[in-house]
Amino acid sequence: MLLYLKRFLWFAFVSFLPQLSMAQELWGAANSNYAGTMGHELNPASIVACPFKWEIHLLSGDVFAMNNYLFLSKKSEAIRKSMRGEAIAADRIAVRTNTQDKSAYASAFLKLPAFMYSTPAWGLGFHVSTRVLLSARGVPYHLANFMKEGFDFKPQQKITYTGGKSKVGAMNFHEAGITGGIALNTSPENYLTAGISLNYLYGLNSFYLLVNNINYNVQSDSLWEIYVANVEYGHATVDIGNTSNLFQKKGSGFGGSIGIQYYKNRDEAAYKSCPGSKKLKKYDYKIGFSIIDIGRIKFKTNASTFEFNDLGTDWFGIDTIKIKSIGNTDSTFSKQFFGTSNGSKTGSAYALWLPAAASLQVDYSVTPTIYINLSLIQRIPINPYTLRRPNQYSVALRYERKRFEVSIPYSYYDYFRHRIGLCLRFGILTLGTDMIGPYTGLADAYGLDFYFGLKWQHFEKCKKKSKVRRDYMGECFQEL
């Protein structure tokens, strides 16, 4: 299973991620009053009562990856060397050596042209996007080491290891959805909105692996003794090296999010401020709660599932196994454990759930332009066949104007890594990252993140001020 997993994860990153297929939270942008369509994924209720009337979303995207195992040592100058076409020295890629379970999460999305319309009473929006998701949790450190170093990793040979509860999943898909919201209470003192997003999911490729229990000993680089294995996996994708059907529909499903937002002392006049007018606070504070990414995709085309229950084997010559294709790997494992090429296959369809989570957002207005935001993400593992979102909390300070914004979010990622980000919005362009460290080289880098947005927001036109002049006789006239 280790060889198969290593090869498939590599195939997933090489084949899926270049599509730039929202699971990363965009902490620097999503909580802004001007987030628009870049904020609906965190809380669909934010579509109501925006400072602008409508938005044409041209394009936005995000690429994110994070893990607690491999890292790039600080001062590696990765960006500068990449721009020069230079390779990063192998000794700069290090391993976090401890006995904790290893985890990883990667996501990417590309949101295509979208539209939203917002009023103080209701809001409506449409979007189309492509997403890639990959999660791995509960991977024992010894399995991670063998995946990286191979079976010739002598420090772990001739030792019996036990592991289990490892869950790995990956999928990419297209998404088409509608977001709607209404104001439930329009009283300025206690303004309340609710929103919901409903999405159709067009499944492209997927993979899952559940290591429920495994007890083994690597005697040498050529002998893998497996005493007990309770493992299942499945895939719905094209074979390695065959990209002709990479974008073929292999499954479908539905998903969505739901949320509410409460505003204390919301001032409608502050949402229509004009140049030169007195600056007003939009609200004292607002509190939002949402359940996001509830849904699943059932894969039925080119899909297969496999199980190994309470089985063992002495695998001689493990170092000579050549992984030529996914189908070849399936039959190799079946022959080793069952003696037949198809003995482990159990089905031709399965369903994977999206990385569901609950989220709380608290936004406090210090001044009309300065805000402090606290947001939380808590994953909801619906069943073992669920991609698992990392838990996070974020505290962000932002300066917000109609045409300009800067936000500095601090986030604590999965109770493992502290991160500082930066987000800038100027006119139609938004650029940001939730972890600026990898770009500075001042700290070890366990991942990367970058997002952008291009969108045009239409504001209500300001009324022209009255102008007063005197004619040559001193008479006073007023013109509009």
Amino acid identity of 229?
A
pLDDT in tens, 160-176: 999 888 999 999 999 99
DSSP code of residue 154: G
DSSP code of residue 342: T
Report in angstroms the alpha-carbon separations of 68 from 20, 100, 291, 416: 23, 9, 26, 8
pLDDT at 345: 94
pLDDT at 1: 52
pLDDT at 19: 40
Structure tokens at 74: 């600080």
Q: Tell me the HSE value of 109 on the side-chain side, using a 13 A CA sphere.
A: 22
pLDDT in tens, 430-461: 999 999 988 888 888 899 899 999 999 998 77
Amino acid identity of 431?
L
Amino acid identity of 16?
F
pLDDT at 465: 54
Structure tokens at 461: 């036109």
Q: How many CB atoms sit inside 10 A of residue 45's CB? A: 31
Q: What is the pTM for the complete model shown? A: 0.88
Low-confidence ranges of the chain (pLDDT < 50): 5, 7-23, 466-480
Hey, CA dihedral for 142, 146, 149, 154, is it positive or negative? positive
